[in-house]
Amino acid sequence: MLAVSVGGCLGDDPIAGREDAVPVDVVTPDVAAADADAGADGVSDAVSDPDPDGDADPNADADPDAASDPDTAADTATDTATDTATAADTATAPDTDTAADTDTAPDTAATPEDLPPADTSLLSGPPYLMWVTETEVSVRWETTTPLIGRVDFGPTDALGQTLSEPSARRTHELRLTGLAPGSVASYRVVYDGGALPVRHVRTAPPDDDPRPLRFIVWGDNQNGPGTFSDLIPWMRAASDFDPDFALSVGDCVQNGTRAEYRSQLFVPLAPFADEVPFLVAAGNHERYGDPDAELFSEYLSQPGDEHCFGWRYGGLFVLFLDTDLGLDGATGQRACVDAALSSPAARTARVRAAAFHKPPRVEWWFGGLLAFTNAMEAPWVREDLEPLLESYGVDIVFNGHNHLYAYTPETEGGITWVTTGGAGGAIDTRGPFDIWRVGTWPEIAVTLHEFHFLRATLDGDELHVEAVNVDGAVIHDFTVTGGHDGEE
């Protein structure tokens, strides 16, 4: 989870080593066709999907079974504004159209209310956590019908505080505030008169906290919920690794539909994301059926505009940006990148990282040169963005897009690059007689064509990264030392 893990020493931490899952029947800068079975055995069968085509507005009082073609932009251009209740004003919180009528002060109680188990057949999306800071975290879930939800929370399982939504809706988002930095908080989701089991989240430590932190990075799980589900246990429960948070480098879904967000992302993540908060760098597939990425914005809670932002966690700073928007032009992100990487949060971090979808160099692509178009390659990442990141002393960049593992050790510009596109989408193999080669880049030292994710540990100014496959085996590892300043 997004908060510091004390060097893997689990002790009495209620989060550490958890093997059960929610029993679902189912800074800022001040600003693919493998495993298409969406079953995710043991989880997805229990999640109700009233909108299998993924196009209905979840907060409208419409027939939840209404369906239309999910492969058109019109299908997803629905009203995706998500009402948000928070316990305090948060400048970078997602927009809300109910702010004026929301009581932002949480209620308090001496003991948690005794409630029956929640009816999990009412869940179309199990609870997940996003965007943790030292004192805040967003709790999200989705129901099959409009309901008024709430979150009970506190420093112990006795809870003690309650934050409620002002009105009924299907897509739920409550931002808990006033949490203690670097500590474990307890919470439970309540709706329709019942409560889900208590879960826990660790908040981020102070920036100068020297304790090690751990995190997960994955990419391109789209169209592969079965494989993604196989990887999830190795991210935490089936290993000694207890992450503070997780990062996705995009392509969480194949065509950007509501049904895919449920079956390809939230259902596989259910045993993990109810206690491990995550953030996402948008990929190109999030826009395939949703050109404006409206569902990306509706379902995710992230700083700023949710596409380009900086985020500090302990001694780590991460820049997120959207490689479908570019650096310049009407949707350009240059000003955002400059502001984020020149901020005190970035300049004082022990390690500076970036996370975005498209990498600067690709050697293998399914379909070969006919499929690897200019839009797929995004040469501006290599020609314009890479030198910009070098000038700010970025130490490591996490990418996806290419469905394999590729490691580029520190370049002359000081950046270590790692492509981690192996969380479920069909692997980009070499093809017969190496027919799928689309480039030769001597900078790339290691390429592995297999499903995997990354786990990383920051201890001092050293970031150790391991690539882990579906059997839990480490297939490659490396260490990056942070602290170089770039161009002054």
486, part of any domain: no
Question: Which pLDDT does position 108 carry in this prediction?
Answer: 53
Which of the residues in the chain have pLDDT under 50? 1-46, 50, 53-54, 61-104, 488
SS3 per-residue string spanning 346-385? HHCCCEEEEECCCCCCCCECCCHHHHCCHHHHCCHHHHHH
Question: Which pLDDT does position 74 carry in this prediction?
Answer: 34
Task: Verify that 123 and 252 share a domain, yes or no.
Answer: no
Within 13 Å and on the Cβ side, how many CA atoms surround 240?
8
Task: Verify that 154 and 255 share a domain, yes or no.
Answer: no
Task: Verify that 162 and 268 share a domain, yes or no.
Answer: no
Task: Verify that 402 and 276 share a domain, yes or no.
Answer: yes
Residue 97 domain boundaries: 85-128+135-200
Q: Quote the tokens at residue 148.
A: 């008024």
CA–centroid distance for 423 within its chain:
13
Residue reference for tokens 């949480």: 106
Question: Which pLDDT does position 300 carry in this prediction?
Answer: 98
Buried b (16+ CB within 10 A) or exposed e, 401-414: bbbbbbbbebeeeb
**Which of 200, 225, 244 is the last residue in one of the domains?**
200
Q: How far apart are CA 123 and CA 219, in angstroms?
A: 26
- Angle, vertex CA 292, rays to CA 287 and CA 293, nearest 5: 55
34, part of any domain: no
76, part of any domain: no
Task: Verify that 271 and 354 share a domain, yes or no.
Answer: yes
Task: Verify that 280 and 154 share a domain, yes or no.
Answer: no
Question: Which pLDDT does position 192 carry in this prediction?
Answer: 98
CATH classification at residue 303: 3.60.21.10
Question: Which pLDDT does position 423 carry in this prediction?
Answer: 98
CATH classification at residue 172: 2.60.40
Q: How far apart are CA 460 and CA 422, in angstroms?
A: 28
52, part of any domain: no
27, part of any domain: no
Q: How far apart are CA 408 and CA 378, in angstroms?
A: 18
- Angle, vertex CA 317, rays to CA 331 and CA 252, nearest 5: 55
Task: Verify that 471 and 424 share a domain, yes or no.
Answer: yes
233, part of any domain: yes
Total domains in the fold of the chain: 2
Task: Verify that 158 and 292 share a domain, yes or no.
Answer: no
Task: Verify that 293 and 433 share a domain, yes or no.
Answer: yes
**Which of 147, 171, 200 is the last residue in one of the domains?**
200
Those residues whose C-beta lies under 8 Å from the C-beta of residue 353, and which sit 6 or more positions away, are 316, 317, 318, 319, 394, 395, 396, 397, 398, 463
Q: CB neighbours (10 Å) of residue 329?
A: 9
Q: Which class for 232: exposed (0-12), middle (13-18), buried (19 or more C-beta within 10 A)?
A: buried
Task: Verify that 179 and 295 share a domain, yes or no.
Answer: no
Task: Verify that 337 and 442 share a domain, yes or no.
Answer: yes
326, part of any domain: yes
Task: Verify that 185 and 233 share a domain, yes or no.
Answer: no
Q: Are 446 and 405 in contact (CB under 8 A)?
A: yes
Within 13 Å and on the Cβ side, how many CA atoms surround 51?
32
**Which of 200, 221, 253 is the last residue in one of the domains?**
200
29, part of any domain: no
- Angle, vertex CA 452, rays to CA 448 and CA 456, nearest 5: 105
Within 13 Å and on the Cβ side, how many CA atoms surround 328?
6
Q: Are 420 and 469 in contact (CB under 8 A)?
A: no
Radius of gyration of the chain (CA): 21
Q: Residue 101's closest CA among 152, 57, 165? A: 165
